[in-house]
Amino acid sequence: MVTKCSIGYILTRSEKYGLGSPAGSVRNVALAMADTARHKGADTAEKLPAEGTQARRFGKTRSAQSTALLEDYVELIADLLSGAGEARPTDIARRLGVSHATAVKTISRLKRAGLATARPYRGVFLTEKGQALADRVRVRHRLVVDLLCALGVPTESAEADAEGIEHHVSEMTLKAFAQFLKSRG
């Protein structure tokens, strides 16, 4: 069955998500999906990907989550260094909304990973490896923001959403994003 949702997107499944309406709440969507799964019975099990495929997908997500924190730190440190000339643990903690102790602990992880150095009373600096990572993260971030804005997402929402998406998106998907944006001219 083909269904048009409230924002005009064509759904090819029988679930009606009702985006943009009270019926579109997460709970209602979950209930609709559970009801559909009950009616489909055994068909639902057939739709699951192979175990290895699903395990790789979840593994990719776990890996992205473990590196996301370090990526956020190097990106912020690079921004602070280019904007203010220094990246102090106190400033890093405030901008990331974490405690000073948490920032210091994560900076220690950055140093162990060879991404940063720190000098007493001089703040945190990125190594070449850290700067290269910050540059890659910044490019990914801009690409995701630009794509979301091209889709009509307001800039502030696009910036906030990109903070999560940028860590989980594959290189293949990033290339598709770039190609899409180039094709729009």
Residue 17 confidence (pLDDT) above 90: no
**pLDDT of the residue at 93:** 97
pLDDT per residue over 44-100, tens digit each? 456 888 888 777 777 766 666 768 899 999 999 999 999 999 999 999 999 999 999
**pLDDT of the residue at 16:** 44
Residue 150 confidence (pLDDT) above 60: yes
Report d(CA 181, CA 185) in Å as an integer.
7
Average pLDDT over residues 15-31: 48
Is 64:46 a contact under the CB 8 Å cutoff?
no
Q: What rounded mean pLDDT belongs to the chain?
A: 81
pLDDT per residue over 106-124, tens digit each? 999 999 999 999 988 889 9
**pLDDT of the residue at 157:** 95
Average pLDDT over residues 126-130: 97
**pLDDT of the residue at 4:** 47
Report d(CA 84, CA 7) in Å as an integer.
43
Fold held by 50-185: Arc Repressor Mutant, subunit A (1.10.10)
Residue 10 confidence (pLDDT) above 90: no
Residue 36 confidence (pLDDT) above 80: no
pLDDT higher at 43 or 162: 162
**pLDDT of the residue at 143:** 95
Burial-class residue 30 by CB neighbours within 10 Å (0-12, 13-18, 19+): exposed
Can you tell me which residue has the tokens 């064509």? 10
Domain-wise residue ranges, the chain: 3-47, 50-185
155-168 helix and 128-150 helix, angle to the nearest 10 degrees: 130
Tokens of 99: 């405690």
Q: What is the dihedral of CA 30, 63, 166, 110, to 10 degrees?
A: 140
Burial-class residue 123 by CB neighbours within 10 Å (0-12, 13-18, 19+): buried
Q: Which helix (H) or strand (E) holds 57?
A: helix 51-84
